[in-house]
Amino acid sequence: MQKWLVMAALGVCLPFAAQAATPLDKEAAIKLFTDHTFDGVFVPKDKRFQAYEAPDGSHIVLRPNGKRDKGRVWSINDQGQHCTTSPKNADKLRCSSVLDMGGGVYHKVNAKGKHTHTLTNFRPGNQL
């Protein structure tokens, strides 16, 4: 009887746990990133970093070795996607949807649906 109850409870709860997170809208994304520092991981290469998104559009990245990327920019587009330039492509914005995974964890997902970045520990101001 107890096994049946556990199985029934799992059958009811699991579909809710498996629901996909929805992307942030423009206002929520602007509020999350503007004038905030956060920790990140570039998932494909397991590269860790910290970043600060300044109100003027400056995107400052601090790597574990102490190197800072400067001259990069960030923005939020009309779809609420977080857009940044890279050191190698300073004139091209790359935009990704931001999914709220709960508990202060956010995933950036590219146009192909691939999880590219995990972002956590958002805190106000430039903490770099």
Residue 4 φ then ψ, to 5°: -65, -40
* Whole-number Å distance between alpha carbons of 18 and 123: 28
Q: Is the pLDDT confidence value at 19 over 90?
A: no
Question: What are the residue ranges spanned by the domains of the chain?
Answer: 22-124
DSSP letters, 55-107, are: TTSEEEEE-TTS-EEEEEEEEE-TT--EEE--SS-TT--EEEEEEEEETTEEE
Q: Is the pLDDT confidence value at 9 over 70?
A: no
Which numeric CATH code is attached to 22-124? 2.40.128
pLDDT of residue 6: 41
Coarse DSSP helix, strand, coil percentages of the chain, rounded to the nearest 5 percent = 20, 45, 35
Name the more confident of 70 and 57.
57
What is the tens place of the pLDDT at every residue in 84-96? 998 787 788 999 9
pLDDT of residue 12: 44
* Whole-number Å distance between alpha carbons of 51 and 54: 10
Distances (CA, A) of 12 to 6, 17, 70: 10, 10, 49
Residue 25 DSSP SS3: coil
Q: Is the pLDDT confidence value at 79 over 70?
A: yes
In the structure, what pLDDT confidence band is assigned to residue 5 with cuts at 50, 70 and 90? very low
Name the more confident of 58 and 9.
58
